[in-house]
């Protein structure tokens, strides 16, 4: 005769269909695991890593931090670090001891969070006939049967929890990046508008100020990522307009005097920079090949050496920098973030070639805090490239100094 575990709660608590279905599914999986028919599903997990992952993914399950604290306390009563869900994992702490491990949590609060854990299916109640939590031991002192809380469901859901935790980390990373971009856009737009007012520049600065006010305000710590993306895109559009308005209000004399701190390293050269395309050297001023054909070298510069000089560009590559095509794709994002207009970017690519112009964008990113008008600076370098007076070597060399 097979001994059956208790599946109904003690006292007046009702049996819920959802919990009964979860118990049935757990028993089915346990039978498969015990028979060796589980495939890649081991049903095991290191308990502290699992608790950490569930902490990161708790919003997916609607669990509070205090519910996680109660679950952590419950797992601490299991003597092994490894949770093996092939069989019931029952812990049977008294309310007093559980309260102590939960830093003095009141009985009513404990019951509420235990109910939340049961409702989400991370633990099961295995109540005794009188509702007490205890175990019976055999003649050798081994636990024969026990009544309390079953942790096996937690172990069996480890793979699911780890997947949600990874997604939560990626989302948090993306939100952090968007928050940083939004903060920078707000600051740079505000300072450019202020400069326009203070210097008496021609431009519709009042309208820009009103639009900026609509996009300003506190950035929530946990907002909808779609709202963050939308706000960032609107700020990018506004920044491009503000930067262009300020740029258009500058005189030619100001433009020529506004070179960056490493402009002194850009030397006149009669040589014609070239780019290696599919192993064939071609003039960069005539390069029009699409990014996916770009090879690993540009003007004799290896991709690895380039990334040593311009490491920040890798932060804007979706899948990392593996080829020059990845650099060009990331530069497209960065130029927008820097407020460089599409026309300025297009002119640079026509004059320098795709890779060289992407390298210039990467270099500008490294020294962004020193360059007042990235768009104006790129246009100035584009003019030099069109006249054969520009080389990227001194620029990259300057970044190492």
Residue 15: what pLDDT?
61
Judged against a pLDDT cut of 50, whether residue 272 lies above it is answered with no
Residue 145: what pLDDT?
80
Spatial CA neighbour of 147 closest among 166, 129, 122: 129
Please compute the mean of the pLDDT values over residues 167-193 and round it to a whole number: 88
244 and 293 belong to one structural domain: no
Q: Which domain holds residue 300?
A: 263-400
Please compute the mean of the pLDDT values over residues 10-20 and round it to a whole number: 61
184 and 139 belong to one structural domain: no
With cut-offs at 50, 70 and 90, classify the pLDDT of residue 75.
very high
389 and 287 belong to one structural domain: yes
Domain boundary pick from 156, 182, 207:
156
How big is the chain, counted in residues?
Answer: 401
Residue 142: what pLDDT?
72
271 and 241 belong to one structural domain: no
Judged against a pLDDT cut of 90, whether residue 369 lies above it is answered with no
pTM: 0.55
Judged against a pLDDT cut of 70, whether residue 260 lies above it is answered with no
Considering the domain boundaries, does residue 4 fall inside one? no
With cut-offs at 50, 70 and 90, classify the pLDDT of residue 207.
very high
Mean pLDDT for the chain?
A: 80
Per the model's pLDDT, the better-predicted residue between 39 and 396 turns out to be 396
Considering the domain boundaries, does residue 215 fall inside one? yes
210 and 267 belong to one structural domain: no
> How many structural domains does the chain have?
3
22 and 152 belong to one structural domain: yes
Please compute the mean of the pLDDT values over residues 179-187 and round it to a whole number: 87
Residue 224: what pLDDT?
76
96 and 129 belong to one structural domain: yes
Considering the domain boundaries, does residue 3 fall inside one? no
Residue 216: what pLDDT?
85
Judged against a pLDDT cut of 50, whether residue 265 lies above it is answered with no
Residue 219: what pLDDT?
66
Q: Are 309 and 396 in contact, with CB atoms under 8 Å apart?
A: yes
Share of the chain above pLDDT 90, in %: 35
Residue 99: what pLDDT?
94
- 274-277 sheet: strands from edge to edge: 280-283, 274-277, 294-298, 301-302
Q: Between β-strands 274-277 and 294-298, what pairing exists: parallel, antiparallel or unpaired?
A: antiparallel
303 and 374 belong to one structural domain: yes
Judged against a pLDDT cut of 60, whether residue 31 lies above it is answered with yes
Judged against a pLDDT cut of 60, whether residue 116 lies above it is answered with yes
pLDDT 10s digits, 297-311: 445 678 888 998 899
Please compute the mean of the pLDDT values over residues 324-348 and round it to a whole number: 87
147 and 213 belong to one structural domain: no
How far, in Å, CA of 207 to CA of 100, rounded?
A: 60
Please compute the mean of the pLDDT values over residues 127-137 and round it to a whole number: 77
Domain boundary pick from 126, 156, 186:
156
Write the burial class of residue 253 (CB in 10 Å: 0-12 exposed, 13-18 middle, 19+ buried): exposed
């Amino acid at each position: 005769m097979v001994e059956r575990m208790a599946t109904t709660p003690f006292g007046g608590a009702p049996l819920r269909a959802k919990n009964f279905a979860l118990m049935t599914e757990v028993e089915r999986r346990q039978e498969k695991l015990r028979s060796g028919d589980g495939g890649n599903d081991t049903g095991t997990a290191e308990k502290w890593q699992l608790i950490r992952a569930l902490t990161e993914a708790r919003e997916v399950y609607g669990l509070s931090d205090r519910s996680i604290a109660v679950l952590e306390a419950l797992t601490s009563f299991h003597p092994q670090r490894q949770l093996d869900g092939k069989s019931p994992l029952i812990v049977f702490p008294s309310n007093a001891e559980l309260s102590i491990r939960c830093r003095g949590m009141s009985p009513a609060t404990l019951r509420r969070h235990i109910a939340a854990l049961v409702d989400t299916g991370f633990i099961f109640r295995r109540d005794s006939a009188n509702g007490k939590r205890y175990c019976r031991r055999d003649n050798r002192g081994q636990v024969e049967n026990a009544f309390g809380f079953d942790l096996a469901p937690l172990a069996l859901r480890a793979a699911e929890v780890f997947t949600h935790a990874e997604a939560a980390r990626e989302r948090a990373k993306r939100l952090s990046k968007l928050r940083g971009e939004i903060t920078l856009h707000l600051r740079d737009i505000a300072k450019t508008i202020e400069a326009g007012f203070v210097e008496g520049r021609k431009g519709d600065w009042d309208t820009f100020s009103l639009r900026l006010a609509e996009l300003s305000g506190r950035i929530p710590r946990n907002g909808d990522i779609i709202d963050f993306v939308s706000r960032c895109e609107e700020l990018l559009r506004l920044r491009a307009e503000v930067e262009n308005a300020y740029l258009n209000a500058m005189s030619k004399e100001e433009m020529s005097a506004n070179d960056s701190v490493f402009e002194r390293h850009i030397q006149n050269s009669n040589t014609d920079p070239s780019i290696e395309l599919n192993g064939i050297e071609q003039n960069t001023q005539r390069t029009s090949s699409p990014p996916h054909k770009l090879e690993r070298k540009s003007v004799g510069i290896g991709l690895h050496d380039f990334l040593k000089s311009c490491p920040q560009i890798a932060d804007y590559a979706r899948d990392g920098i593996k080829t020059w095509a990845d650099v060009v794709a990331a530069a497209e994002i960065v130029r927008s973030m820097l407020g460089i207009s599409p026309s300025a970017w297009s002119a640079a690519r026509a004059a320098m070639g795709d890779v060289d112009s992407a390298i210039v964008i990467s270099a500008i990113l490294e020294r962004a805090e020193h360059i007042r008008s990235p768009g104006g600076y790129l246009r100035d370098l584009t003019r030099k490239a069109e006249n054969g007076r520009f080389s990227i070597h001194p620029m990259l060399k300057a970044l190492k100094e």
